[in-house]
Structures are given as C-alpha cells and as structure tokens.
Structure 1
Amino acid sequence: MNTEHRHTDNQHTGHQPGERTFLRSFEDPAAVAHYAEGPRRFVPGLEALHRMTGLLLAERAPRTVLVLGAGGGGEIKALAEAQPDWSFVGVDPAGEMLRLAERVLGPLMARTELVQGYIDDAPEGPFDAATCLLTLHFLEAAERRRTASEIHRRLRPGAPFVAAHASFPQGPGERDAWLDRYAAYPAAMGADPAMVTKARAAVAASLNAFTPDEDERILREAGFSDPALFYAAFTWRGWVAHA
C-alpha cells in the first residue's frame, strides 16, 4: 500500500454545522496532541470495541479494509496488530489527525494508505470490509444515509461493516439524562471537570445523535442487511451489518 497520505481537491458540500465545529478542533495541533486521551476517557470500553470490531470483521476473512474516520490511527493500529495479513485505506478530512495517525502507526503504514477527505474521496474498491467508529454522529440523517450508501457501494457482496457512534434515547427528559451519564463517565475516570462540562455542552449542541432504532433504519436504507447491535455503553452503540 502507499505509505504516504494523499490529499484531494474535492469540495464536498454536505458538511454539517456540528461537523465543522469538531473539524476545527481536529485541525488544531495542540488539541490533536492530546487527542488519544479523550476517546479512552469518554468511550467506555474503547479497547474492547476495537477488539470486537476486529473479531467481527475476521468472520469474513477480509484482506482489504476501508476505515472512514481514520484520523488518530488508533483503530487501524489495533486491527493491524491483530491481523498481519490485512491492509487498510483510512479516510479522514483532518490533515492534522492523519499526521497523528502516521506517527501512531509507524511501521504499520507499510500496509496503510491514508486519504485526506470524505467518503467521496475514498477509492472505489471493492473492499472486503469497512469500519466507521466514532464518526457518523457528526452527520445529519440525509448525509449519514448517503455516506453509509457510499460505503456500501465500495464493498464486496456480503462484506461486513462495523459502525459505532453516539446513539441513545432522544425523548423528553431522556436526552439530558443520557448526556449527564455521558459526562459522568469521564468524570469518574479522572478527567478535568471543566473539560467534561465543555465536552457535554459541545455534544449537546453539535452532535447529531439519533435513537438506536433510527440508526438501524439508516443502515438498512443504505443497503445493509440485518444490522445487529453488539456494543452498548451509555450513549454509545455499535452495529455489524453486511453489504
């Protein structure tokens, strides 16, 4: 695989306000330098999520894996270390996050191509499997459905797709209760209280979180069959489905 990450000139116009807000922080070198601390504190069982993702993909013995939202490199690192025969194409809009991924992956870049951009900038494939972890909640429903459809279009028939992101009840009173739980976890993990308060406010204002039922419906409408929930941790849900 190409060991350099390539940039594209596509000007995708589907960016949502929440996506733009978070993308700015992902282009901030100071914020990116401490990025790895955030997911570990805010996402319960992150390492287990990576491990389970690898096991679910391995059921279909893939060789090429498309990773949408690859910035930071943690997901690819976990998968590549567990599966020495797999190769990866990682796509992310934030150049600073891709540079972090290069540093995190080190010699694993020999099996990785990194592409700066969005799903439209990803190679056509076909790929044997795909993942999208902690990313789809930046997109509103129509753009999420379109993105999932474009992932589906790049997969071989029967290929597994693992998606995990913020997904929790949105009814009156429920949303705030679950956002409080979202904030309680990193606080219990020792995160700075001011940072937790800021993160909760940003998530409440900017993320496009839907109910698990809505998320499953989006996967089906994108062409995936039988989405199955395999991960649930406070405000986070993960599914495996097949093209």
Structure 2
Amino acid sequence: MTADITDGARQFIRAFSDPEFVARYTDGPRRFVPGLDGLHRMTAILLAERAPKHAKVLVLGAGGGLELSALADAHPSWTFVGVDPSPQMLQLAERTLGARMSRVDLIEGTIDDAPAGPFDAATCLLTLHFLPAPERLRTVRAVHDRLRPGASFVVAHGCLPREPSERALWLDRYAAYAVASGVAAEQAISMRATIEASTNMLSPDEDGAVLRDGGFRDSRPFFSALTWHGWVGHAGSENLA
C-alpha cells in the first residue's frame, strides 16, 4: 500500500479491520442493502454491455469478495483486479472466492495502488460513501484514467438528501429495513446514528455530479433502494489526471 495514505482510507481501514466485524461481514450487507443480489446481477449486465468476452475488470473496494464472486460466476471468461485497503477484508475475499481466485489479483491499497490499465470495465460498490467529496472526485477521476474509452463504470453506495426532515425519514427507513432483515434494533439504531453523523454522505444529485465531473459525462442512475443509489457511466477519451 502507498505510504501516503489518505485520511478517508485510514477511516475505512479502521472500520473494516475489526476481526469480529470481518467474521460477520458476509451476511451483513444483505441485511442493510435492499436487493443486493439483484444489484450484483445488474452490475454484471451493465458492465457486459461494452466489455469484450475476455474482459479485465477493476473492482475497487473488493474486500469481502461478494461482488467479485457474483461477477466471476456471471462471466467465466473475465479476469479481475480487486483493490481494498483492509488486509483482513482481502483475506475474507480470498476465502469467499475459493477456486475463482485463479482469475483474480487482489491488491492491498487504494485506487493509487491499482495498475494503470487500461481496464475493460470497473465497479465500486458500497464504498464511495466512506470518502469525503474531494477524495471521492479524485478517486472517480483515477478510475476513469484507468479505463479504455467507452468502458463501463458501475457505482452504488449510500446517499442522503440535504433537507433535514427528508434526511431523517430516509435514515428511519434504513434502520427499519435492517430490523426487518434480522438486525437487532440496538445495532440498527447505532448504525443509523453513525450514518447521520457522517459528513461524507452526499445527496443523489451531488453524487451524480461527482461522476460527471470525474469524466463519466453520460452517467445515469439505474438503482434506487431506500438510502442506496447506483449509477452507470462510460469513460470518455480524455485523460483527467
């Protein structure tokens, strides 16, 4: 990993390095993210729209291995580079992938540690909301610069509106879904409070603007499930570095 790691990456590593958290992670996202399996299937379809048969795909925030496993199953001829700053989460990804690891190269680090490419497609799921807006934009631009022209980029993460009463309603729905999915009420309330206190959460409109400013001029929403939103865009020919 690069020695000059950002504050956002430090926070990410701390959150995803606790052994008990990592041990529970495989089932966790499905209890907080409505339609996670469908999101993975849609991601595989959207990336394939422009990817060649033997595509090389960049997966940013690959710890845990859930989307890597789904993409590898959907497209047996694809190979992957998965990047994540947490070594514990990368170890979990390796266990989750099993025999599929023969097509995956896992890298500990941030986007700065990813190969230059060019990649045929890229994805970043349930990750960008950990980064403050300036770092998020820099990361999106760095992904753009690693893609071949026209390649698809799929992102999905948490968003919250700016208006206080609407924001509170979205957060209440987030917690209610978690409880309905089997999460203890105390844990759901704690997670709600953590998200409410985060200064990194952007509105859906602001997140869409980050992608456009990062070079994905044609980015369009494709997924919306309570607090979770997803976009797909395609790399232009210009280098934004």
Q: 1:96-107 to 2 correspondence within 5 Å? A: 96-107=88-99
Provide the residue aligned with 2:23 in structure 1.
Answer: 33
- What's the CA shift for 1:224? 0.8
- What's the CA shift for 1:61? 2.5
Provide the residue aligned with 1:121 in structure 2.
Answer: 113
C-alpha separation between the residues in 1 aligned to 2:196 and 2:108? 27
Q: Calculate the aligned-residue CA RMSD, in Å.
A: 1.2
Which letter maps to 1:144?
A: R
Tell me if the contact between 1:145 and 1:218 (Cα under 8 Å) persists in the aligned partners. Answer: yes
Provide the residue aligned with 1:198 in structure 2.
Answer: 190
Provide the residue aligned with 2:239 in structure 1.
Answer: none
Provide the residue aligned with 1:64 in structure 2.
Answer: 56
Aligned residues between the structures = 233
- What's the CA shift for 1:22? 4.5
Structure 1 residue corresponding to 2:43, chosen from 36, 53, 63:
53
Instruction: For residue 218 of structure 2, give the secondary structure of its aligned residue in structure 1.
Output: strand
Tell me if the contact between 1:26 and 1:96 (Cα under 8 Å) persists in the aligned partners. Answer: yes
Which letter maps to 1:124?
A: A
The answer to whether 1:186 aligns with 2:156 is no
Provide the residue aligned with 1:134 in structure 2.
Answer: 126
C-alpha separation between the residues in 2 aligned to 1:206 and 1:37? 23
- Where structure 1 has 5 or more consecutive residues not aligned to the other structure, the ranges are 1-7
- Where structure 2 has 5 or more consecutive residues not aligned to the other structure, the ranges are 236-241
Provide the residue aligned with 2:218 in structure 1.
Answer: 226
- What's the CA shift for 1:176? 1.3
Give % identity.
59
Q: 1:76-115 to 2 correspondence within 5 Å? A: 76-115=68-107
C-alpha separation between the residues in 2 aligned to 1:133 and 1:121? 18
Tell me if the contact between 2:80 and 2:103 (Cα under 8 Å) persists in the aligned partners. Answer: yes
C-alpha separation between the residues in 2 aligned to 1:57 and 1:221? 21
The answer to whether 1:44 aligns with 2:34 is yes
Provide the residue aligned with 1:4 in structure 2.
Answer: none
Which letter maps to 1:77?
A: S
TM-score, structure 1 normalization: 0.93
- What's the CA shift for 1:14? 2.7
C-alpha separation between the residues in 2 aligned to 1:106 and 1:154? 27
Tell me if the contact between 2:51 and 2:151 (Cα under 8 Å) persists in the aligned partners. Answer: no
Which letter maps to 1:28?
A: D
Tell me if the contact between 2:222 and 2:230 (Cα under 8 Å) persists in the aligned partners. Answer: yes
C-alpha separation between the residues in 1 aligned to 2:4 and 2:108? 12
Tell me if the contact between 1:25 and 1:32 (Cα under 8 Å) persists in the aligned partners. Answer: no
